[in-house]
Amino acid sequence: MQINAYYKGVQFRRVPFKILLIMKLIMVMMTILLLQVQAGVLAQQVSLNEKNTSLQKVIDNIRKQSGYDFLVLDYQLVSRATPVTIQLNKATLKDALDKILLPRGLDYTLQDNSIVIKDRHVATESASVEIQLTEQEPIRGRVINDKGEPLAGATIFVLDGNGRRTSVQTIADENGDFQLSNVSEGTQLEVTYLGYTSRRLIARYQMGRIALSPFTAEMGEVSVSLSTGIQKIPKERATGSFDHIDNELFNRQISTDVLSRLDGIASSVMFDNRQLGGNREISIRGLSTIFSDRQPLIILNNFPYEGDINSINPNDVEDITILKDATAASIWGVRAGNGVIVITTKKAKRNQPPAISFNSNMTLIQKPDMMQLPYMSSADYIGVEKMLFDNNFYDANEQLGYVPLSPAVELMYKNKHGLLTDAALQQGLNELAQYDIRRELNKYVYRKGLNQQYSLNVSGQSENVSYYLSGGYDDNTSTTDGGYKRYNLRSDNTFRLSKKLSWDAALFFTHTFTNAGRPTNFSSLPYARIADENGNALPIDRYYRSNYIQETKQNGLLDWTYRPLDEINLINNKQKTNSLILNTGLNYDIGKGLIVEIKYQYENAQGAGKDIRSMASYYTRDRINTYTQVGTDGALFRPIPLGDILNESTNSFTSQSLRLQLNYSKTWDKHQLTGLAGAEARQANTTLTQSTQYGYNPHILTTIAVNYDTDYTLYSPTGGIAKIPNPYFTSETNDRFISFFTNWAYTFDNRYNLNISARQDGSNLFGVRSNQRFTPLWSVGGSWHLTNERFINITWLDLLKLRTTFGYSGNLNRNVSALPTMRYYNGGNLINTPYGVLVNPPNENLRWEKNGQFNVGFDFAVLKQRLSGTFEYYHKKNTDLIGYMPIDQTTGAIGSLSSRGFTYLGNSASMTGNGIDIQLHSVNIRKAFEWRTDLLYSTVKTKITEYLAETRDLNNYLNSGLVISPIIGKPAYSIFAFRWAGLDPETGDPMGYLHGEVSKDYAAIRNETTPEELIYYGSATPTHFGALRNTFSWKGLSLSFNISYKLGFYFRRNSVFYNAIFNGTGSHSDFSLRWQKPGDEVTTQIPSMVYPNNNNRDGYFYPRAEVLISKGDNIRLQDINLSYQIKSLENKWKLKRLEVLMYATNLGTIWKADKHNVDPEFGDLSPLRTFSFGLRAGF
């Protein structure tokens, strides 16, 4: 006889007789959510409308509605049963089963939340079997996964008559084999492996192969295999801090790149959205360095990846593992100080038949709304210009004749010179006041963006060959009409050359093409226009006044007029890249638990950029005119010839890595030992070349040589001499690394785990003596599975595991070297010869940065995985950090190329950090309708503890918080401000403090205030952050939304800067809120406008005063995902999977602490909403 089980619609066959497979799905709701178990199993209600439906499908329907599973003692009882035709509306489960099963000669019983179906004439046998301890033939078997691979370390428990675990147990060895002595046939066994469904079986002397299936999302758990990039380990034996992003969670989001998909779903990973240029900085557990590379190390398929991360096709990614503490990351040594992100790509599954997967999606990007920019109204701006005009502010420029004046000021001078009546002047000013440059930008510059993504892969496996072939195509159009296209091709194959030897070979090729978008910065005038009513381009005076331009044009120069709308159509800036990764390796099973691996990777990336500045562009016309020479006879000579200007750049990156590794695994009795040892050598070469050529003809591809050595008199009203710009630049760097590493893990009785790791890295960058070029790094960690202890017998406690680690990783800075380094330039000096500048003086004691980290935490699960999670605390101490150090001026070194004076880069700083990471996962409802909740919460606090070049210059304290200014005792990104005493009620002047007294002596406040007198607000980056994700599913429909939050940080708002308004370089809408009369100080904190402008008052003190500091705390609806798996078409078309989905992101801010109209993370412009639609199909 067979026992066949239905579980979540999956049929398991050929299970030995006398199984007691009790799938306990406890319907207890989370008490924190005040949900209750619905009592009375057989009193539950079901509704059916079936006509000639197989009994199997009817049982599956009842299972979905009731939430209970069915065990079938003989599958043929179901397969041979007559079809069911029945209609029931809210009938009890008992009535439904009676009407369906009894007429077909079947009966049923309830056993531990499962309904057992049996023949009415066959009695079930008791599952309670006494354990026999007499000598007899041992119980033998092999534990494998769904791919047929052995599950080394699987635990086999002997159960008592009540189904509880006894002290008799064993662990499967590296081949998945196990043996139980003194256990008789008929005894109940339980086979478990973390990340897989446990199985209860009846013991036989020859158990054969016991296959465990990975947990599915419906079952409350996911299959967990943690990858360090060098080895894979089961999570149950991990002692370090890992975060695993499986394929389903990773693909919840839609994007062109890989890393952005981690935002809001990865614990302790924070994206800094404040950075200029849209380059978001990623940190894991906060900063671990100051002036070195702050980005995490990326591992792609076992090797560090140093190419463009945007080249990786996210559809090729299988899963991602984030290594957060020293034990998890120390295997990567000096490059792991910022954390490690391990990316594993897809491969064919073992014994997998040929399969095809297709993925396509389209993303619509919201058009930016420039009306969000806080510009002054045009009327207010013209009012300021009129005030300045009345005070003769523009007279000097007007008399010079070439300095550009605004359209409003031009009208005022025409009126002053009698060329325009007062009425016409007012009419002209009123007309200008109606214009708004933001509307012009919305109309002519910005548009909706569109991203398209297509991916196709084919995979399969025979007995000796597995293959995976994929292709991807992305076509993105930005909101400024920029283009990005990416072509991906990947092949990953494994050949089993013999029973012991296998060969891996993979190829990854990417081609990208980037086309720059439209320029967006045309004028700071609020009423500037770039087109007339008919869409024709209008000029804007940029560097010269229109009458001066007309004069130069009459003298034979090119038209110097600047028309922004024409410039939009002249952009011709393209970048192309080709990247190739070849990865190969041999694996040989020596035997007795030893496996030797040798892996090699070749990586090459070639990039070429071409920026063609058309002769019609303002850039080219301006440069040609500027260097035009006028002879004594008035004849013109152009040292820069007519034609386009061609700016070219090429870059190349080549690396080779070789790794030899020996793996060991042995299991005996209650012991398991796994380890590895190896060596790795790596070399990387980077070259960069930039050049400019003049007189370029794109039709025949020719250029004209120019004289870069001669000083030419500039054609400019202000005069001057200069050489023709020759931005030729070339550089080459070579990095060489050699490493030795080892990692060992010991497990006793499936309860205690110990992990030890060590690595030694060497580089050509560090140390003059050989012993200084290497740095030893190590870690140690341990864990304790309390739920596997005999004294822990709590039925509702599924998992309780304590773990702790300590160790060191490191970081490097490629801009420093132990040897003196110089940068050379071609000419440009008085004698027109090459010269060099010292970048770094010799530093024979230069050392690697070191990151020591302590981590302690526990993992838990209760109520059959209804509630699970992780709590962790960590403390970091980073020493020998690279920073600026003072240098003796008598050495002759001029210091770094920065503005930091006589300094150089060396080991000059230390910092500490600590925080907690919490992850909670709950299954709130587990029935046909399912509701899950995932909570991420992290804290991070860092501070500088040592810095040899600390300065008392207030500029280092009073920055925007976007740059690092190391201040001892404070975070790397800090917010300081001048104390604020309000507005003077008589004048509206801003008031501060000088030596504790209220003062309006702004120069003294600027020059005499000490750092101790400043107000320290806190970190400029969030110290608390995380996300709350809820997922609802019903049948094939799934709805998920993610709410993210960032708390505990401050930011400095922008406000009115009167000097910028006066000079025509900027404006701000705060102008309308300024103090204008006594009493206004009650309702506003915006200072009055005074003329002449006091720069210390309006340009230094007020922008840096605490009145402009705001809390950045915010909660936002990050995204919504809606998907539907069309199972009816899957069956009809014989598809493996067919899913349609919709995804929306950046949906808005739910709450923020600051009430001003500014986003604390993104600034004046909110992040653009995106709406995606996709299709996923598997064949």
* Per-residue confidence (pLDDT) for residue 91, from 0 to 100: 82
pLDDT over threshold 80, residue 840 = no
> Cβ neighbours of residue 345 under 8 Å, at least 6 residues apart?
300, 301, 316, 317, 318, 490, 492
Q: Tell me the average pLDDT across 56-72.
A: 74
Alpha helices (H) in 369-449, listed in sequence order: 378-390, 395-400, 407-416, 422-433, 437-444
pLDDT over threshold 60, residue 39 = no
> Cβ neighbours of residue 904 under 8 Å, at least 6 residues apart?
840, 841, 843, 884, 885, 887, 893, 895, 896
* Per-residue confidence (pLDDT) for residue 1080, from 0 to 100: 96
Pick from 132-146, 751-765, 885-899 the range whose average pLDDT is largest. 751-765
- Of the options 3.40.1390.10, 1.20.140.10, 1.20.1630.10, 3.55.50.30, the CATH number for the domain spanning 3-119: 3.55.50.30
pLDDT category at 34 given cuts 50, 70, 90 is: very low
1155: its two tokens: 């009430």
Range in 208-222, 321-335, 807-821 the model is least confident about = 208-222
Which long-range contacts link 199-205 to residues 24+ away (Cβ below 8 Å)? 199/21, 200/19, 200/20, 200/21, 200/22, 200/159, 200/163, 201/15, 201/16, 201/19, 202/16, 202/17, 202/18, 202/19, 202/20, 202/129, 203/139, 204/16, 204/139, 205/137, 205/138, 205/139, 205/140
Q: Which helix (H) or strand (E) holds 568?
A: helix 564-568
Which long-range contacts link 636-642 to residues 24+ away (Cβ below 8 Å)? 636/555, 636/556, 636/557, 639/706, 639/707, 639/710, 639/712, 639/724, 640/694, 640/695, 640/706, 640/724, 641/694, 641/695, 641/704, 641/706, 642/615, 642/695
DSSP labels, 774-803: EEEEEEEEEEEEGGGSTT---TTEEEEEEE
Q: Where are the domains of the chain?
A: 3-119, 145-214, 225-352, 1122-1178
* Per-residue confidence (pLDDT) for residue 208, from 0 to 100: 84
Q: Which residues partner with 684 through β-bridges?
A: 655, 735
The CA-atom distances, in angstroms, between 610 and each of 613, 647, 840, 1023 are 10, 6, 32, 43
CA 281 – CA 259 distance, rounded (Å):
11
Query: Which DSSP category does 41 fall into?
Result: G
What percent of the chain has a predicted confidence (pLDDT) above 90? 60
The CA-atom distances, in angstroms, between 915 and each of 171, 268, 653, 869, 875 are 36, 9, 37, 17, 7
Pick from 51-55, 75-79, 582-586 the range whose average pLDDT is largest. 582-586
Q: What is the overall mean pLDDT for the chain?
A: 86
CB 122 within 8 A of CB 72: no
pLDDT tens, 170-205?
A: 888 878 888 888 787 878 888 988 667 778 888 888
pLDDT over threshold 60, residue 278 = no
Q: Tell me the average pLDDT across 943-972.
A: 90
Q: Tell me the average pLDDT across 953-972.
A: 90
pLDDT category at 326 given cuts 50, 70, 90 is: confident
* Per-residue confidence (pLDDT) for residue 327, from 0 to 100: 82
The CA-atom distances, in angstroms, between 491 and each of 247, 250, 458 are 19, 21, 10
Residue 89 CA, chain-centre distance (Å), reads 50
Amino acid letter, residue 850:
K
Q: Does domain 145-214 bear CATH number 2.60.40? A: yes
Q: Tell me the chain's radius of gyration from C-alpha atoms.
A: 36
Angle between helices 407-416 and 378-390 in degrees, nearest 10: 40
* Per-residue confidence (pLDDT) for residue 25, from 0 to 100: 32
pLDDT, greater one: 49 or 1043:
1043
pLDDT tens, 399-438?
A: 999 999 999 999 999 999 999 999 999 999 999 999 999 9
CA 1011 – CA 1126 distance, rounded (Å):
64
* Per-residue confidence (pLDDT) for residue 979, from 0 to 100: 97
Q: Tell me the average pLDDT across 758-777.
A: 70
CB 801 within 8 A of CB 777: no
Range in 186-195, 432-441, 555-564, 634-643 the model is least confident about = 186-195
> Cβ neighbours of residue 342 under 8 Å, at least 6 residues apart?
227, 228, 229, 299, 320, 321, 322, 323
Q: Tell me the average pLDDT across 310-328.
A: 92
pLDDT tens, 666-722?
A: 888 888 899 999 999 999 999 999 999 999 999 999 999 999 989 999 999 988 999
Q: Which residues partner with 612 through β-bridges?
A: 646
Amino acid letter, residue 894:
I
> So what CATH class is 225-352?
mainly beta
CA 1125 – CA 1117 distance, rounded (Å):
25
* Per-residue confidence (pLDDT) for residue 69, from 0 to 100: 63
Range in 5-19, 603-617, 718-732, 914-928 the model is least confident about = 5-19
* Per-residue confidence (pLDDT) for residue 77, from 0 to 100: 67
What percent of the chain has a predicted confidence (pLDDT) above 70? 88
> Cβ neighbours of residue 795 under 8 Å, at least 6 residues apart?
none
Report the predicted TM-score, pTM, of the whole model to 2 decimal places: 0.81
pLDDT, greater one: 627 or 863:
627
Q: Which residues partner with 428 through β-bridges?
A: none
CB 961 within 8 A of CB 974: yes
* Per-residue confidence (pLDDT) for residue 71, from 0 to 100: 63
Q: Tell me the average pLDDT across 644-652.
A: 96
Residue 1161 burial by Cβ neighbours in a 10 Å radius (0-12, 13-18, 19+): buried
* Per-residue confidence (pLDDT) for residue 812, from 0 to 100: 81
pLDDT tens, 512-534?
A: 999 999 988 888 899 999 999 99
pLDDT over threshold 50, residue 727 = yes
pLDDT category at 30 given cuts 50, 70, 90 is: very low
Neighbours of 64 (CB within 10 A): 17
Q: Is the dihedral of CA 294, 295, 296, 300 positive or negative?
A: negative
CB 916 within 8 A of CB 873: yes
CA 249 – CA 262 distance, rounded (Å):
9
pLDDT, greater one: 47 or 69:
47
Q: Tell me the average pLDDT across 1089-1106.
A: 95
pLDDT, greater one: 101 or 621:
621
* Main-chain dihedrals φ then ψ at residue 657, nearest 5 degrees: -130, 140
pLDDT category at 24 given cuts 50, 70, 90 is: very low
Per DSSP, the three-state class of 488 is: strand
